[in-house]
């Protein structure tokens, strides 16, 4: 009985604290009377209601996304956004909120809170096409903690939302661009591997590229990094790279790319890694402590055949149509849509 009572007290306390968010006036849109679902991860998906049914009337749902400290922001890629639209999203809305200065919870008026409200209708087919043509996320936030709130009014309900969030990486340091032709294998790795240990406080990045339409396969030959909890000291991070301004632009980015390996460390040789697209980004980072440097890693990459069914589906649906009207890229298109 005592346990049940204690549980009730905790629940009531939680409700009161959250209800204060409305009273203290930091932001009415962060009012979360049903509590907040906490998600701690570098990548994940949130959907509501998350099936083919429509959301209900007078709903309030809240989430808090927290990405590991090593990252520096959060990107949002929509898969579905189907929310009743009224002026200033005053009927139904999806709200993102974060503090862009020091940490204060959303009901604390000391925080410098920023809000971004969304409503309107973007279907999944349109969003697939848009992501194919523009690799950047739909939303970008310079925070490691992001609050998400969905609310609906008393009439007209749609399909809701479904998005992937991904932690932003710093990709500003020195980079190498390595481009392998169809039958070529290129080696890469930490500097002076086998001759001396990697330096402390050292960072290096590689963009690995194979012909358009192929996947990329990375094989590790040697791997010896400092072992630390969650690989927070020295690590290798690997993501899909993308063109942020469409498939035929030159700029290659990876800040919000999908993870192929979140963080690798220690001395176990990682498994072979295979990408979905034809461009991959690899980052190596060592800790500041010069007493804990190791040999580093040595790896190679080459082109593999495209067997990604989803990619083929994109190709069939959009790429060929796009190519028909852009004769100057037809050679690329042919290679892209070819099975091998």
Interface residues with Ca ion (CB under 5 A)?
84, 91-92, 152-153, 156
Half-sphere exposure of 149 (CA within 13 A, CB side): 24
What are the phi and psi torsion angles at 2 (to 5°)?
Answer: -60, -40
145 vs 153 by CB, closer to Ca ion: 153
| Nearest distance, CB of residue 76 and Ca ion, angstroms | 22
**Interatomic CA distance for residues 260 and 283, integer angstroms:** 12
Query: Quick one: CA torsion of 133, 135, 139, 142, rounded to 10 degrees?
Result: -160
84 vs 255 by CB, closer to Ca ion: 84
- Which residues are 273's β-sheet partners? 218
Query: Quick one: CA torsion of 43, 49, 51, 53, rounded to 10 degrees?
Result: -160
| Nearest distance, CB of residue 155 and Ca ion, angstroms | 6
Residue nearest to Ca ion (CB): 84
| Nearest distance, CB of residue 157 and Ca ion, angstroms | 6
| Nearest distance, CB of residue 77 and Ca ion, angstroms | 24
92 vs 118 by CB, closer to Ca ion: 92
152 vs 293 by CB, closer to Ca ion: 152
Instruction: List Cβ neighbours of 193 (8 Å cut-off, separation of 6 or more).
Output: 222, 295, 296, 297, 298
CA 204 to chain centre: 21
152 vs 190 by CB, closer to Ca ion: 152
| Nearest distance, CB of residue 153 and Ca ion, angstroms | 5
């Amino acid at each position: 009985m005592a346990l049940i009572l204690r549980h009730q007290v905790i629940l009531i306390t939680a409700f009161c604290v959250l209800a204060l968010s409305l009273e203290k006036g930091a932001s009415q849109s962060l009012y979360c009377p049903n509590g907040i679902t906490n998600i701690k991860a570098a990548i994940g998906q949130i959907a509501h209601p998350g099936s083919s049914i429509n959301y209900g009337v007078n709903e309030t749902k809240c989430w808090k996304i927290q990405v590991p400290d090593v990252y520096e922001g959060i990107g949002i890629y929509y898969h579905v956004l189907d929310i009743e639209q009224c002026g200033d999203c005053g009927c139904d809305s999806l709200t993102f909120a974060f503090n862009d200065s020091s940490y204060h919870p959303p009901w604390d008026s000391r925080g410098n809170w920023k809000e971004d409200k969304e409503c309107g209708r973007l279907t999944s087919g349109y969003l697939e096409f848009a992501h194919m043509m523009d690799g950047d996320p739909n939303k970008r936030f310079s925070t490691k903690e992001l609050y998400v709130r969905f609310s609906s009014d008393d009439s007209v309900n749609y399909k809701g939302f479904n998005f992937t969030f991904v932690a932003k990486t710093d990709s500003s340091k020195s980079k190498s661009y390595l481009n392998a032709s169809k039958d070529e294998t290129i080696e890469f790795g930490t500097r002076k591997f086998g001759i001396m240990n990697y330096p402390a406080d050292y960072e290096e990045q590689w963009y690995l590229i194979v012909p358009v339409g192929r996947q990329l396969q990375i094989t590790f030959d040697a791997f010896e990094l400092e072992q630390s909890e969650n690989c927070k000291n020295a690590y290798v991070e690997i993501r899909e790279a993308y063109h942020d301004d469409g498939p035929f632009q030159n700029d290659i980015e990876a800040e919000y790319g999908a993870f192929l390996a979140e963080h690798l460390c220690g001395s176990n040789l990682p498994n072979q890694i295979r990408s979905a697209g034809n461009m991959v980004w690899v980052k190596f980072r060592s800790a500041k402590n010069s007493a804990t440097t190791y040999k580093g890693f040595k790896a190679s990459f080459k082109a593999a055949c495209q067997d990604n069914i989803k990619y083929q589906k994109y190709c069939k649906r959009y790429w060929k149509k796009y190519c028909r009207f852009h004769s100057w890229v037809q050679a690329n298109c042919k290679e892209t849509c070819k099975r091998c």
